[in-house]
Amino acid sequence: MSERLQALARRRSDLQRRCALDRQRVLDGIQNLQQPLLGVDRGLQSVQRFAKRPLTIAAGVALMIGVGPRRLTKLMSRGVVFSAAVKRILSLVRTFT
């Protein structure tokens, strides 16, 4: 094989290796961007779901007016903790059954 062909084969091999590394970097970057955006997507889906139910919005506003924002925040945080605990318990039950 001539020197020219060997040089071209080495160059091609180097370029392919660089392309593979670049491809991996792009994929890593996309995955790093995807994680935060998944939370945003879930939030938008929740807002869209509640926006389709005006009665739910009205009930939430009435609850805030009746209970007060501080107390409502405290109740909501307790509800979130309770729901997380229930989800964990249910997942444990599913793994043992």
43: left (phi over 0), alpha (psi -120 to 50) or beta: alpha
pLDDT of residue 82: 92
| Predicted local distance difference test score (pLDDT) of residue 67 | 83
Rounded Cα distance between 76 and 72, Å, is 6
Q: Kindly give the confidence (pLDDT) of every residue in the chain, 97 residues in length, as a single tens digit, with 9 standing for 90 and above.
A: 699 999 999 999 999 999 999 999 999 888 888 888 888 888 889 888 877 888 888 888 888 888 888 888 888 899 899 999 999 999 988 888 7
State the pLDDT at residue 1. 64
Can you read off the two tokens belonging to residue 22? 């670049």
Residue 25 has what pLDDT?
Answer: 93
User: What pTM did the predictor assign?
Assistant: 0.38
Q: What is the pLDDT of residue 20?
A: 95
